[in-house]
Chains A and B, each alone.
Chain A
Amino acid sequence: MKQPTLLFLLFLFTITSFSQVEFSGKVIDHKGTPIEGANVYLEGTYDGTSTDKNGNYNFSSSETGTQTLVVSFISFETFYKTDIVNNLNNLNIKLREDVNTLDAVVINAGSFDAGNKARAVALKPLDIVTTASALGDAVGALQTLPGTSANDEDGRLFVRGGDANETQIFIDGIRVFNPFIPSANNIPTRGRFSPFLFKGLSFSTGGYSAEYGQALSSVLTFNTIDQPDQEKTELQFMSVGLGAGNTQIWGKNSFSINTSYINLAPYQLAFPDRNEWNEPFEGASGEMVYRYKPNEDGLIKLYGAFNYSNFDLIQDDINFENGFNFALENTNLYFNGSYKQRLGNRWSISGGMSYTNENTDINLEEDKVNDVENSAHFKVKATKGFSNRFKLSFGSEYFITNFREDFFQNTSNSNFDYTFNNNILGTFAEADIFFSKKLATKIGIRLENSEVTNQFTVSPRVSIAYKAGKYSQFSLAYGQFYQNPSSEFLKFTNSLSAENASHYIANYQYIKDRQQFRIEGYYKSYDDLVKFDGVVASPLSNYTNTGEGYAKGVDLFWRDGKNIKNLEYWVSYSFLDTERDYRNYPTKATPNFASKHNMSVVGKYWVNDWKTQLGISYRFATGRTYTNPNTTGFLNEKTKNYNSVSLNAAYLISQQKILYFSVNNVLGTQNVFGYNYRNQPNANGTFDRQALRPNADQFFFIGFFWSISDDNKSNQLNNL
């Protein structure tokens, strides 16, 4: 009896052991270190196991024929091998690191990102709207980052020795031609766009991607929200005006609208400034976004904005006894449509167009100017990922600008007409290559053909980044950048060619636990800058491209949200050494918009018991150059240093009601941006002067923001 049973059992055992196939092997990383805890299994079956601490695994399966062995482990690319089962034994498997993780190297020389998708975030979404000095203007918040200059009389972005025209702004990859609301001398302008339609932005202070052209110094790109989360109505009651917004969602569609009306008359009555206002600033604006998601992988966005502003004032001017009368009426219509679609096989395409119509009427004393600009931008871009480590993008775009100016000169009682077309065809291609999790590069080239300058330009761009340690990395970037001369010159001449800049950037960054330190050194050389003769650019001037210049410096940034509970702060410092010979400069000199040292300190402290966020920002800049006609020389003297401390507080009355208060330049520091000299010397033979001061030293703002939504949860913190 015994023997047959044994035999039978033995027989059975043999069968099972024959039908069971062994799978064993070892899993290691690129350095040969064993990986513990990797999931090893046959695809489509339950058969598998985890690797032990030596990276070894061993399991058996009754599967036969051709099978796929899968090895997956977090932060590594999943490994697949398909073969007949007998060939899947005794494997030595090397997993490749996933380069798509937060601790991988990032190509970021020159750029700052905001939003919650970005890996190295310099500004968080709330920062854009809660920085004390910014007054809810995204551009204002960026002025606390290194590489920018504090030019409060202008309000636009002056980046690394470049003037404001050298920065271009894009929404969803499409150019915005006139991004700023016009303002009078010494009154800072603001961006036209309310920050809450955007989910993130990237601000590059140099060395940017070949996708962007026509900017010598800097590009700022905004991304609008893809899909709003809920329907809501928002109301804003402010000391300077009113605002309202609404979002609707239905099916695959959503629609948001935002309107505001600003009137500074009551404010100026309460706090008179240095000007005499015939008509205080009045502005109305409306923005709307329609989004349609035709399928999971596609998105269409249509964005439209209308903006009207109007004012009339008399500014003190040493050369005009009764002051200088300046009046402006501006309408701006902007439309932007974009389409994104992910296709199969790691292809994706995006495209879009924008159209701007800007109409400005200006009265300068008795002279009248009417400017009409029609611009459009068309763009198509395709991206193909060949693997996680190699991505290629390429695209083409066309810019059209038609500008017309009618100038009525009172003294001669005559009309002048100036017009030009500035059309540019651009093509770009760029490769993103990861050699490993530690080393990556981006290589691109941009070709442009400009009709007005009758010129074909080639701009190579290269950047490379190396992760030296767990928390630190080095980056280098180089690029060539071309930009056509501004309309100020193109309206008078067609003999100019594009201005040119080269950037060389070296960057070191250390990020650990909500602390971030970066230092960036750069050298930028300018060539082919426009020069002209005469006091102002006029039809009679001679224009050449013989100007040149340089800017070099060091930018430092430190952000800390770790050491003190509920406190986030950052410190920026920029050293800038720049000289240029352009416009009608008789010699190379530091332009009057550049200060040698710039510093910003921004702090935000959340007081939980008060439900209030308190904010402070301090900005400092050393003096700016001006020409003193009483001495010989050009831009040879400097103003005193600039100082400004701003405070704000946002109090959450309830989830949906916020009270906001801010005051700019709380100490009332009397800042001077330059001097205006009398055209004629006085009896003693000296020229009298007048300090160029901000319109008002201080600015107060009080607002009440109320959101109404179904869930009673959302608020307008992101609006402030």
Chain B
Amino acid sequence: MKKIITLLVLVSAITISAQTKYEKGMMKAFELWGAKESDKAAQLFERISKAEQNEWLPSYYVATIEILGSFGLKDEAKLNSKLKKAQEFLDEAKSISPKNPEIMINQALLNTAYIAFDGQKYGMTLSVKNAAIYKEALELAPNNPRVILSKAEWDMGSAEFFGQSIEPYCKDVEKTVPLFEKEKLPKFYPRGGIERAKNILKKCKKEN
């Protein structure tokens, strides 16, 4: 999980240019996040989200930080509080930007946090939800490397569970590398994944 956090922070690298108040605020938040002050970063994102009613990214990042921070928690009450907060901000982001594949895969990540905590309790309902989310996200954005990658990772997880080959999904992951490379994204847009994809490909090569 640490890896994912570092990657997310790294790839959310910021290009410096003429700055509006929003840009300054977002940059400051990313700075905090990069400096491992993720609580402070989340709080700044939260303030920005409340001030900028038309931007989905601040809410999206509040949710992201809470979700990532919930993995590995042992206390269900704490986990639930964090994920409930994440859900609120994801819902906020969804209402600003409906049918957004980036938000959708974050929703799937949130569900995964519950499943990882207690598969018996949450697995049955939420894994079906995740499957549906990935399916819809892929329909909306067939060339979004993060969508393809997240879906492939999810599929690999279940294939491994059932002792099946992960090979068919390796091809999907391979596809994402050039997509990541040529991706041109608006400012502050989530852009993580290429390192994660390369790591998975290493694992794929080992298995074959």
| Chain A residues with a Cβ under 8 A of chain B | 37, 39, 41, 43-48, 50, 70, 72, 74-75, 98, 101-103, 116, 121, 124-126, 199, 229-230, 513-514, 561, 568, 611, 652, 654-655, 710-711, 713-714, 717-718
Q: Is B128 a contact of A229 with CB atoms below 8 Å?
A: yes
* B158 contacts chain A at the CB level, 8 A cutoff: yes
Collect the chain B residues with CB atoms within 8 Å of residue A72's CB.
46
| Subset of 22 A-B contacts with CB under 8 Å | A39-B43, A41-B47, A44-B50, A44-B51, A45-B47, A45-B51, A47-B47, A74-B81, A98-B81, A103-B77, A116-B121, A116-B122, A116-B125, A125-B124, A125-B125, A229-B129, A514-B118, A611-B163, A652-B162, A713-B127, A713-B131, A714-B131
Please give the distance in Å from B45's CB to the nearest CB on chain A: 10
Collect the chain B residues with CB atoms within 8 Å of residue A75's CB.
77-78, 81
The 8 Å CB contact of A126, one of B21, B74, B124, is: B124
- Given A116-B122, A513-B74, A718-B124, the answer on whether A48 and B131 have CB atoms closer than 8 Å is no
* B40 contacts chain A at the CB level, 8 A cutoff: yes
- Given A229-B128, A230-B131, A513-B74, the answer on whether A611 and B162 have CB atoms closer than 8 Å is yes
Q: Is A230 a contact of B128 with CB atoms below 8 Å?
A: yes
Extra contacts, 14 of them, besides A44-B50, A199-B125 (Cβ < 8 A), are A41-B43, A41-B47, A74-B81, A74-B85, A124-B120, A124-B121, A125-B124, A229-B128, A230-B128, A561-B120, A611-B163, A711-B135, A714-B131, A718-B124
Q: Is A654 a contact of B162 with CB atoms below 8 Å?
A: yes
* B48 contacts chain A at the CB level, 8 A cutoff: yes
The contact string, 1 if C-beta is below 8 Å from chain A, for chain B 118-152, is 10111011111101101100000000000000000
Q: Is A101 a contact of B80 with CB atoms below 8 Å?
A: yes
Collect the chain B residues with CB atoms within 8 Å of residue A126's CB.
120, 124
The CA-CA distance from A124 to B50 in the complex, in Å, is 38
Q: Is A50 a contact of B43 with CB atoms below 8 Å?
A: yes
- Given A43-B50, A46-B47, A611-B163, the answer on whether A713 and B124 have CB atoms closer than 8 Å is no
Please give the distance in Å from B80's CB to the nearest CB on chain A: 4
The CA-CA distance from A121 to B80 in the complex, in Å, is 14
Chain B residue nearest in CB terms to A70: B50
The 8 Å CB contact of B124, one of A37, A70, A611, A717, is: A717
Chain A residue nearest in CB terms to B48: A46
* B199 contacts chain A at the CB level, 8 A cutoff: no
Collect the chain B residues with CB atoms within 8 Å of residue A230's CB.
128, 131-132, 135
Collect the chain A residues with CB atoms within 8 Å of residue B25's CB.
46
Q: Is B47 a contact of A39 with CB atoms below 8 Å?
A: yes
- Given A39-B43, A43-B50, A654-B164, the answer on whether A713 and B77 have CB atoms closer than 8 Å is no
Collect the chain B residues with CB atoms within 8 Å of residue A74's CB.
81-82, 85
Chain A residue nearest in CB terms to B24: A46
The CA-CA distance from A98 to B85 in the complex, in Å, is 12
Q: How many chain B residues touch the partner (CB < 8 A)?
A: 38
Which residues of B88-125 have CB atoms within 8 Å of chain A's CB atoms? 118, 120-122, 124-125
Task: Give the most central of B47, B77, B131: most A CB within 10 Å.
Answer: B47
Q: Is A713 a contact of B128 with CB atoms below 8 Å?
A: yes
The CA-CA distance from A103 to B79 in the complex, in Å, is 11
Q: Is A711 a contact of B132 with CB atoms below 8 Å?
A: yes
Q: Is B120 a contact of A39 with CB atoms below 8 Å?
A: no
Q: Is B120 a contact of A655 with CB atoms below 8 Å?
A: no
Q: Is B51 a contact of A46 with CB atoms below 8 Å?
A: yes
Collect the chain A residues with CB atoms within 8 Å of residue B127's CB.
713
| Chain B residues with a Cβ under 8 A of chain A | 21, 25, 39-40, 43-44, 46-48, 50-51, 74, 76-78, 80-82, 84-85, 118, 120-122, 124-129, 131-132, 134-135, 158, 162-164
Collect the chain B residues with CB atoms within 8 Å of residue A710's CB.
135
Please give the distance in Å from A55's CB to the nearest CB on chain B: 15
- Given A116-B121, A125-B124, A714-B131, the answer on whether A101 and B47 have CB atoms closer than 8 Å is no
The 8 Å CB contact of B81, one of A102, A199, A655, A718, is: A102
Collect the chain A residues with CB atoms within 8 Å of residue B74's CB.
513
Collect the chain A residues with CB atoms within 8 Å of residue B134's CB.
711
Collect the chain B residues with CB atoms within 8 Å of residue A44's CB.
50-51
Collect the chain B residues with CB atoms within 8 Å of residue A654's CB.
162, 164
Chain A residue nearest in CB terms to B37: A50
Please give the distance in Å from A453's CB to the nearest CB on chain B: 43
Collect the chain A residues with CB atoms within 8 Å of residue B126's CB.
116
Shortest 10 CB-CB distances between A and B: which pairs?
A: A103-B77, A102-B77, A39-B43, A713-B131, A711-B131, A102-B80, A229-B132, A41-B47, A229-B128, A46-B25
Please give the distance in Å from A468's CB to the nearest CB on chain B: 16
- Given A199-B125, A229-B132, A611-B162, the answer on whether A48 and B77 have CB atoms closer than 8 Å is no
Collect the chain A residues with CB atoms within 8 Å of residue B118's CB.
514
Please give the distance in Å from A103's CB to the nearest CB on chain B: 4
The 8 Å CB contact of A101, one of B77, B124, B131, is: B77
Collect the chain B residues with CB atoms within 8 Å of residue A199's CB.
125
The CA-CA distance from A46 to B51 in the complex, in Å, is 7
Collect the chain B residues with CB atoms within 8 Å of residue A713's CB.
127-128, 131, 158
Q: Is A121 a contact of B162 with CB atoms below 8 Å?
A: no
Please give the distance in Å from B72's CB to the nearest CB on chain A: 14
Collect the chain A residues with CB atoms within 8 Å of residue B80's CB.
101-102
Collect the chain A residues with CB atoms within 8 Å of residue B163's CB.
611
Collect the chain B residues with CB atoms within 8 Å of residue A568's CB.
120
The CA-CA distance from A230 to B84 in the complex, in Å, is 24
The CA-CA distance from A710 to B76 in the complex, in Å, is 33
The CA-CA distance from A72 to B66 in the complex, in Å, is 14
The CA-CA distance from A362 to B132 in the complex, in Å, is 48
Chain B residue nearest in CB terms to A76: B81
Chain A residue nearest in CB terms to B80: A102
Chain B residue nearest in CB terms to A100: B84
The CA-CA distance from A44 to B118 in the complex, in Å, is 38
The CA-CA distance from A176 to B74 in the complex, in Å, is 40
Task: Give the most central of A39, A98, A126, A561: most B CB within 10 Å.
Answer: A39
Chain A residue nearest in CB terms to B29: A46
Chain B residue nearest in CB terms to A606: B120
The CA-CA distance from A41 to B47 in the complex, in Å, is 7
Please give the distance in Å from A196's CB to the nearest CB on chain B: 10
The 8 Å CB contact of A655, one of B77, B82, B162, is: B162
Collect the chain B residues with CB atoms within 8 Å of residue A514's CB.
118
The CA-CA distance from A125 to B44 in the complex, in Å, is 39
The CA-CA distance from A289 to B134 in the complex, in Å, is 26
Chain B residue nearest in CB terms to A200: B125
Chain B residue nearest in CB terms to A713: B131
Chain B residue nearest in CB terms to A129: B124
Collect the chain A residues with CB atoms within 8 Å of residue B124's CB.
116, 125-126, 717-718
Chain A residue nearest in CB terms to B74: A513
The CA-CA distance from A655 to B128 in the complex, in Å, is 12
The CA-CA distance from A75 to B84 in the complex, in Å, is 10
The CA-CA distance from A644 to B164 in the complex, in Å, is 38
The CA-CA distance from A568 to B121 in the complex, in Å, is 11
